[in-house]
Amino acid sequence: MVEGLRKVLTDAEERMKKTLQVAASDLASIRTGRATPALLDGIRVEYHGALYQIKELAQMSVPQARLLVLEPWDKEALEPIRKAIMNSPLGLNPVSDGKVLRIPIPPLTEERRRELIKVVNQRTEHSKVALRNIRKDALEEIRKLEKAPGVAEGMVWKAREELDKLTEKYTSELEKIRKAKEQEVLET
């Protein structure tokens, strides 16, 4: 029955890893004053009747700290990409020369920085709640296994302790990601 407890802990850790990955990706999409291809991850482009991510339609590069350059694989995709970026909530204004899109990233105002830090903190808190829910689900599974025959009280106690360590580890990792993003917002 020890493998049952191990499986609960393994499943919980996998879910926590995924939560952390999603949180990191989500925070990377928050626009700071620095150019990064991740800014455009949430934008979908309608092209030939289908929706695509920009990275599926163009090569992205960052030649300068405040400039993104997109070179579409197909030149016909240039205008749909430009329109999608213009219509996005990012407030970016791409410039086309017929071959590539240059997207200057404007510097952030102090007020916008404060708003972004609030958004970073809110999204981080949502991820912390998700981690706590994973812990709660795993504890329920451990309680069910506790009543099964052949499961020693010491094994259950150890499994709970390990679950708490996992939760603490991933919460700490999430905090590191939050602090790094907050620093990025303040410094750019």
Domains 2-29+109-187 and 37-104 share a fold: no
State the pairing for strand pair 50-53/44-47: antiparallel
User: What letter represents residue 167's amino acid?
Assistant: T
| 8 Å CB contact between 77 and 47 | yes
* In CATH, 2-29+109-187 is 3.40.50.300: no
- Determine phi and psi for 20, rounding to 5 degrees: -65, -40
- Most confidently modeled of 40-44, 150-154, 166-170? 166-170
What ranges do the domains of the chain cover?
2-29+109-187, 37-104
- 10 Å CB burial of residue 73 (0-12, 13-18, 19+) is exposed
pTM recorded for the entire structure: 0.70
pLDDT in tens, 60-76: 998 988 889 999 998 99
pLDDT in tens, 78-101: 999 999 989 887 778 899 998 999
Q: Express as a percent the part of the chain with pLDDT over 70.
A: 98
**CATH T-level topology, domain 37-104:** Gyrase A; domain 2 (3.30.1360)
